[in-house]
Chains A and B, each alone.
Chain A
């Protein structure tokens, strides 16, 4: 299916229905979205073509469209331009590819599937919504550009890989899972994390509540990185064979989390 945006204005649109499962199961002429505070038909805002194919391609910029692929279970969404907030939030399976940038809350509380952003992502990638105990629980998010604050906040399982830089509080309150950052990491990385692994390929400023353990080459990481090469990540041989400084923390909390800093 191909969706071509017909709107120009910057008015936010909420379109949970842009999900391969829903588009395949429901009558397209009945699908509704919010345009600002008005209910509109999906077909009022998008030209809808090639209805028979399950995978969805959005040809254009949908940076003002929220909740694309939210709760999706299967199939594929490809977005040629930018995507709005809550992309793939709570998704359970399937794949989302974005050529441009994505807003905040990419893959928030996701339970499975793959999201790949070619550009930058906003804040709270894979995070828990405010008040929830658990963020991302499964699946994988790759951001080829930079990402904002609090990525992987309260995540419990799954992988977030950021090829560029991340801002502050990455992995805050983390309970499990893995964050990899190939660029620079901001302040207070891993603040109040209980468990989980943060892998930094560049030096970073650590909180004083992280405790140095050892410099070594973790065996699990060799397997992990080799596996991740399948996802076309810039993992060099030196990353696999190199040594890492291990710090455990955050000691203000459980302290069973780890930050591994690549030393070459």
Chain B
């Protein structure tokens, strides 16, 4: 296939809007192709397929969210077509709708960012039914019994082996921590409030969890850094915890949905932005990457392993709430939420997300997410792009929000606008790089032929809402913003070695509700897998 005469944005190869031809053969980008198929991309924008570094699309908490919200599905019914299967949205869409809608936006790789290891099999089953995109998932480790035990016993090698074993058993991709230590304490109705609080019933602190797992991450040579949802998420004044977390390490660290962790103020009444401080730290420290978790006004479904925070949110909103205790491993909470323009706190949250995008100077270290569906569904990424690319667009919305926003944030003082090149960085190039996916996020020779082609219009939101063409593994799967062909994507996982020691098996048979033999996910559950080996 030849993609002819397109305007190419390929930041990993330093290509910034050059007119070029791209050749595709056997699912890869090649130097030249003799195939006859030609896509005339004159006047169109050609980018690598989007890579989402943090989203919630499969697994137990998503499914609880789906069950909890029939009202959410009723307003977004998706009928079957000749090519696509039926389903529903809106904030917690069905697997098929998730795959289709990502593809229509030009996204071709998505990371499910929080999986209780015991629920891994379920995630892979849902992945097998999530078409179009390549997938990967991050098992939760920050409150795992074995992790806390081995840190407490100072058994670093055992910890390292356990992490490798767990990645293997779950077919996972990266180490995820959510409110490290806090979720374990929540099982006794408590939480941790600082990096140096003791985890309930353990002689371990959140700081030790983070530093030990980061060290494991580097010694195993995992492709991605540790992926951290910080302590004190959502709480006024938490930007200090965030900075403390980042500075606890010299190893790579990815802080996820950092917007929810960049708050100043002492309580809800004095709630304000801590984004300048957080951005300032990130600007000076190269070991940190982050995704934003940008708030989009409207319906959301909050879902996280951070059980104590979800309880707080339930108390704040009075909305329905599900709490889940995942035996030896983690917890979760789900609460529907509506972000409102006229609500001062919500409006400040919206502004903080944009401040972070605009104040962090290096686009290679700040990525576009809405922590789908926590701060809004991923379908709104084009809206976020329009706010980043146009000072005028975000000004229009700022004017509609609560008046206090300008006082409590610096958003109205910032006039930076993202270029298309920078948008390509924060939505594909940099996320692929941060995930260590060498064949994704660029259009160089040998890269996977995952390509998004957009028609650039005056309205940036519209331009990115429906890709003109999407090519996945070398085939046209989206045409004029609509699915043209079903496709089964790969699942990436990392083989870091690791073995189930007798100790692990013994503890398992003593305390788990299932037999050890039923725990690891067999490869049969991954109909199309690609194993990434470590450095």
- B524 sits at the interface (CB 8 A): no
Q: Which residue of A has the minimal Cβ distance to B67? A: A131
| A132 → chain B closest CB, angstroms | 5
Interface centre among A130, A131, A132 (most CB of B within 10 A): A131
Residues of A within 8 A of B74 (CB): 129, 131
Q: Is B149 an interface residue (CB 8 A)?
A: no
- Contact mask B50-84 → A, CB, 8 Å, 1/0? 00000000000000000011111010000000000
Give bound CA distance, A129 to B74, whole Å.
9
A104 to chain B: closest CB distance in Å?
15
| 13 A-B pairs in the complex with CB atoms less than 8 angstroms apart | A129-B70, A129-B71, A129-B74, A130-B70, A130-B71, A131-B68, A131-B69, A131-B70, A131-B71, A131-B72, A131-B74, A132-B71, A133-B71
Chain A neighbourhood of B70, CB < 8 A: 129-131
* Chain A 115-159 interface 0/1 with B at a Cβ cutoff of 8 Å (1 = within): 000000000000001111100000000000000000000000000
Q: Using Cβ atoms and an 8 Å threshold, which residues of chain A touch B68?
A: 131
Q: In the assembled complex, which residues on chain B have CB atoms less than 8 Å from the CB atom of A131?
A: 68-72, 74
- Complex alpha-carbon distance, A131 and B319, angstroms: 11
Nearest 5 Cβ contacts at the A-B interface: A131-B71, A131-B70, A130-B70, A132-B71, A131-B69
Contacts of A132 in B (CB 8 A): 71
Residues of B within 8 A of A129 (CB): 70-71, 74
B72 (CB) vs chain A CBs: closest residue: A131
Q: How far is the CB of A44 from chain B (nearest CB, A)?
A: 20
Alpha-carbon separation in the docked complex, A130 to B69 (Å): 8
Nearest-neighbour CB distance to chain B for A127, whole angstroms, equals: 13
With both chains docked as a complex, state the minimum distance between the C-beta of B315 and any C-beta of chain A, in angstroms.
16
| Nearest-Cβ distance from residue B71 to partner chain A, whole angstroms | 3
List which A84-115 residues lie within 8 A (CB) of chain B. none
Q: How far is the CA of A218 from the CA of B329 in the complex (A)?
A: 58
Q: How far is the CA of A133 from the CA of B70 in the complex (A)?
A: 11
A133 to B69 Cα, complex, angstroms: 11
Q: How far is the CA of A129 from the CA of B70 in the complex (A)?
A: 8
Q: Which residues of A contact B71 (CB under 8 A)?
A: 129-133
B71 to chain A: closest residue by CB: A131
Which chain B residues border A133 with CB–CB below 8 Å? 71
Q: Which residue of B lies closest to A128 (CB)?
A: B71
Q: Find the B residue at minimum CB distance from A133.
A: B71
A130 and B68 alpha carbons, distance in the complex (Å): 10
B72 proximity list for chain A (CB < 8 A):
131
A133 to B71, CA, bound (A): 9
Q: What is the minimal beta-carbon distance from A137 to any residue of chain B, in angstroms? A: 15
Complex CA gap A129/B68 in Å reads 13
Residues of B within 8 A of A130 (CB): 70-71
Contact with B along A207-251 (1 / 0, CB 8 A): 000000000000000000000000000000000000000000000
CB distance from B319 to the nearest CB of A (A): 9
- Chain B nearest CB from A14 CB (Å) reads 12
Q: Known pairs A130-B71, A131-B69; list 6 more (Cβ under 8 Å).
A: A129-B70, A129-B71, A129-B74, A131-B68, A131-B71, A132-B71
Closest to A132 in B: B71
Chain A residue nearest in CB terms to B73: A131
| CA distance in complex: A131, B69 (Å) | 6
Name, among B68, B70, B72, the residue most crowded by chain A CB atoms within 10 Å (CB to CB).
B70
Q: Which residue of A lies closest to B68 (CB)?
A: A131
Q: How far is the CB of A34 from chain B (nearest CB, A)?
A: 11
| CB under 8 Å from chain A, chain B span 73-113 | 74
